Structure 1
Amino acid sequence: MTTTLPSAPQLPSLSTDAAPGLLSPEFWQETFALNRRLFIQLQRRPSTLIAGVIQPLMWLVLFGALFQNAPQGLFGNQVSYGQFLGAGVIVFTAFSGALNAGLPVMFDREFGFLNRLLVAPLASRFSIVLASALYIMALTMVQTVAIIGTSALLGSSLPNLAGLLVVALIVMVLVLGVTALSLGLAFSLPGHIELIAVIFVTNLPLLFASTALAPLSFMPPWLQWVASLNPLSYAIEPVRYLYLHSDWSWGSIVLEAPFGGVSLGAALGVLVAFSGLSLGLIQPALRRSLL
């Protein structure tokens, strides 16, 4: 007599239970939920935002006063140092904030909160990265508006509406690229001490090796080449040109580099390429940590 064994139960197909994609409502819902968590933290400890707004305003007022007696014509015809400095303060403030974007993620790693997120049924773990990027962009826009408003009160002329929109676009593209690098470091470095060390080593050298504080013509030849290869200069010079010229176009020459003139459109293209390269470089680190 033969015995018939019961058939094994059929397991559900994985394809029908696949997690929602990056364009799903669930992904954006969890992204904004994680973003809201960061703003709740900011609401409980607003000193970060207050210091982030006050510091660039102090730079603008004190540096502008320190060099107000600089020789006429050094920064262009009828251009004060305060007007020259405004663009550098806007861009460097955005750069500094974006460079610190990885610190909250690093602290979440060290305190164990990130591990809880990684085992949660998220639509995509990349929502953790996107939430941090949106948070930094929002803070950067608050700082940028404060700097532009203070510059106007100090006598600097404002760009027209189209110019202001281009300024916002330039700042956002730069912030996206630097935030990506900072988040990549947050997932790659062993702890926050190493990340803070990288921030300290990177911050001021990139500031002084750019056109934030002085024009290219004021620099020695070797530093002119360094500044012309610095991504910050490709954000500072277009913003400065938009501030000082109302009749701008995408073909306007905004940077007289040692290798030739750089137009407004070309400078924006360099920033887009820098952000794309940054996003590409962090992909292996994000996949190792999130997938």
Structure 2
Amino acid sequence: MKFARDTWLVFQRQTQLLLRNPVWVFVGVFQPVMYLLLFAPLLKPALNAPTQAEAYKIFVPGLLVLLAIFGGLFQGFGLIAELRAGVIERSRVTPVSRLALLLGRSLRDVVSLLAQAVIITVLALLFELRVFIGDLLLAYLMLALIALMTSAVSYGVALKVKSEDALAPLMNTVAQPVLLLSGILLPLTFAPGWLQGVAEWNPFSWAVDGTRALFAGDLGNDKVWQGLSIIAVLAAAGVAWAARQFARSVR
């Protein structure tokens, strides 16, 4: 009960800080919206899709996974600012659970990224995208797990490096191959065999395939449950590792 209360208090505080400056929600969604408006219209001829709606069923799920990955990976910059301001240092004298300090922040990030995902989905509906609500909610669960994992890992790395100058290139170095090997912008079925083989080791490629299956209405596709299982395990591992970093930094 105490852990749940601590997590809620941290989440509530972090959400209040976000709502005081909600512009960051729209800043975060700006780049995906540009992809949606300026890149997606090119996909129908490129993919030989029968309709623009079918092209969006391929592109929008990848775009949402992109949002969850990048949105989570760069949350650590805010934590470094808190470290510099002494916020984390002052947390040492509080009885709040160290895991709650991490989880409250990460859940705030999950909610923020899901709000951005809803905005993108609504915009895609204007382009004739259609998806069953149950499949969409399951896809959002996949996104939430991705955001939880990447956010927690970003916080853990931030506590390690304690510098924006080190965190930025590190996150970019990780994010670029993850992006290219997950088939986010275009399905990897168009890739050569060796590239598809390498991508099999990228857990986010499973998440993208599973999310695309959900948008296609194929709930029984094995990739849906494989993707959810893989991401859930990685999210738990990421939270456990990051919580350990919080415990070491806030004693």
Q: TM-score, normalized by length of structure 1?
A: 0.78
Report 1:178-217 matches (<5 A). Answer: 178-217=150-189
- 2: distance between equivalents of 1:161 and 1:71? 26
Counterpart residue identity of residue 71, structure 2: G
Kept after mapping to 1: 8 A contact 2:65/2:208: yes
**1:82 corresponds to which residue?**
56
Q: Of 117, 130, 138, which aligns to 2:111?
A: 138
Q: Relative to structure 2, which stretch is displaced further, 106-115 or 200-209?
A: 200-209
Q: Of 72, 91, 95, which aligns to 1:98?
A: 72
> What are the ranges of 5 or more consecutive residues in structure 2 without an aligned counterpart?
none
- 1: distance between equivalents of 2:47 and 2:62? 19
1:204 is displaced (CA, Å) by: 2.6
Is 2:130 the counterpart of 1:157?
yes
Give aligned pairs, total: 250
Counterpart residue identity of residue 67, structure 1: L
SS of the counterpart of 2:129?
coil
1:190 is displaced (CA, Å) by: 3.0
1:84 is displaced (CA, Å) by: 1.3
Q: Of 83, 86, 93, which aligns to 1:109?
A: 83
SS of the counterpart of 1:82?
helix
Q: Of 206, 215, 232, which aligns to 1:272?
A: 232
1:139 is displaced (CA, Å) by: 0.4
Q: Of 124, 127, 152, which aligns to 2:100?
A: 127
Counterpart residue identity of residue 281, structure 1: W
- 2: distance between equivalents of 1:277 and 1:29? 23
Kept after mapping to 2: 8 A contact 1:235/1:268: yes
**1:285 corresponds to which residue?**
245
Report 1:205-284 matches (<5 A). Answer: 205-245=177-217, 247-249=218-220, 252-253=221-222, 263-284=223-244
Pair 1:270–1:34, CA change in 2 (3 A) = closer
Report 1:27-46 matches (<5 A). Answer: 27-46=3-22
> What are the ranges of 5 or more consecutive residues in structure 1 without an aligned counterpart?
1-22, 254-262
Report 1:2-41 matches (<5 A). Answer: 23-24=1-2, 27-41=3-17
Kept after mapping to 1: 8 A contact 2:98/2:247: no
1:52 is displaced (CA, Å) by: 1.3
Kept after mapping to 2: 8 A contact 1:35/1:131: yes
Q: TM-score, normalized by length of structure 2?
A: 0.90
Counterpart residue identity of residue 164, structure 1: L
1:86 is displaced (CA, Å) by: 0.3
SS of the counterpart of 2:203?
coil
- 2: distance between equivalents of 1:71 and 1:207? 19
Give 1 or 2: higher helix fraction. Answer: 2
1:45 is displaced (CA, Å) by: 2.6
1:240 is displaced (CA, Å) by: 0.8
Kept after mapping to 2: 8 A contact 1:238/1:267: yes
The higher radius of gyration belongs to 1
Q: Deviations over 1:211-255 (max 9, x none)?
A: 11122221122221222221221211111111113x532xx24xx
Q: Deviations over 1:33-66 (max 9, x none)?
A: 3333323332333221111122211111111123
1:138 is displaced (CA, Å) by: 0.8
SS of the counterpart of 1:96?
helix
Counterpart residue identity of residue 105, structure 1: L
